[in-house]
Chain A
Amino acid sequence: MPELSEKVIRISLIYLVIGFTLGAILLINKATNVDPQIWILLPIHIEIVIFGWLIQLIMGVAYWSFPRFFEMPNRGNPHYNWLMIIILNVGIWTSISGDLFLSAKFLPMVGRCLETIGIIGFFMLIWQRTRSPQRHHQ
């Protein structure tokens, strides 16, 4: 497993724990009606579980296990991939900030744009690595 995958999968595991913690708080609040303000955590829970946990885990595993290029760097430029991962994570936290500070209406839009750039940028490389063994040898 390359170093980038190790880091990205571990980050996704941290998001898993944060996402499940928020989910547990929301379910307990739903059952007990402790404070309606807690519902502000719902979009953050969804954001963290989908973008932080699921998509990032898939990115980490894809970078590790998809067919490699013959020429070095055989998994694509690691600096470029790191940049996309950083952009995605900045996007996640910008979106979350937008959910928390409702007055900053531009933040969710900026966050979504950054997430989109990070994910598309990353999967552009995975697209090139998605090929049959025959094409791989050509």
Chain B
Amino acid sequence: MPKLARWYIKTGIIYLVFALLMGVGMEFPDLSKMSPFWVNLFPTFYHALAVGWITQLIFGVAFWMFPRNSKEDPRGSEIVGWITYICINAGLILRIIFEPFNTDSHWHTLIVSALIISAVLQWLGGVLFAANTWNRVKSRKKRRKKRA
């Protein structure tokens, strides 16, 4: 298994554990009063699961197991793969830190800037993954044609 796939999968597992613990925390009777902070935790919780866990697990397994491009270039650009990993995780961590405080007027500018950067980074991660994976998703017929 290549190093990047291991990083994706292990990071995904960390997010899964984090999201599960977060879910337990959100159910504590004293904590789950519907204050803006706790209401804002719901999308953070779901994104930790959907992007942090499921999406990263898919990215890791796809990078590892999808058909290879060629002997010289088996898995597309590894640099783009690492940039994707950094974008997704930096974006998600910014979201997890700042989204629950979105209603705080004291740090408004900082929170807004962090969430905009988070949105752009996660979007970039998704686009880069799709672009880097696109050429590896090829039918056997097309591969044969390319070799011939």
Contacts and interface: CB of A to CB of B under 8 A. Distances in A.
Scoring B115, B120, B133, B137 by chain A CB atoms within 10 A of each residue's CB, the highest score goes to B137
Interface in B98-148: 99, 102, 111-112, 115-116, 118-120, 122-123, 125-127, 129-130, 133-134, 137-142
Given A13-B130, A16-B129, A1 B140 contact: yes
Given A13-B137, A16-B126, A1 B120 contact: no
A2 B54 CA distance: 25
A27 B115 contact: yes
A85 to B, nearest CB: 15
Given A28-B119, A31-B111, A32-B112, A9 B127 contact: no
A10 B50 contact: no
Given A6-B138, A13-B137, A27-B118, A49 B130 contact: no
Contacts of A16: 126, 129-130
Interface stretch (A18-26, A99-107, A109-117): A18-26
Given A1-B67, A13-B137, A30-B102, A6 B122 contact: no
A49 B50 contact: yes
A21 B134 CA distance: 18
B116 A17 contact: no
B41 interface: no
A2 B116 contact: no
Interface in A1-52: 1-3, 5-6, 9-10, 13-14, 16-17, 19-21, 23-25, 27-28, 30-32, 49
5 contacts: A2-B140, A13-B133, A20-B122, A24-B119, A30-B115
